[in-house]
Amino acid sequence: MHLIIDRFEENIAVCQSFNEQTVEIEKTLLPKAAKEGDVLLCLEDGSFLIDMVKTSERKRILEERLKRLFKD
């Protein structure tokens, strides 16, 4: 399962699944480099990895949308 880090609230990461469900995860369970907007891969053992490919793809798509939105 993949989750997107929406925001951090103290020691909790508030994440969204791709089907729009909200999931709260203790920040200590995430990779130290995790930041808002990162896509996390949830492993079977309960650990998390940052999916760099999906994070980069998502960032590129959002940047393209912003460019189209503000294009004259």
Q: Could you say which architecture CATH assigns to the domain 2-70?
A: Roll (2.30)
Low-confidence ranges of the chain (pLDDT < 70): 72
Distances (CA, A) of 68 to 61, 64, 65, 72: 11, 6, 5, 9
In the chain, where the domains are located: 2-70
pLDDT at 72: 57
Residues 6+ apart with CB under 8 A from 4: 15, 16, 17, 18, 37, 38, 39, 40, 58
Question: Exposed (0-12), middle (13-18) or buried (19+): which is 72, by Cβ within 10 Å?
Answer: exposed
Which pTM does this prediction carry?
0.86
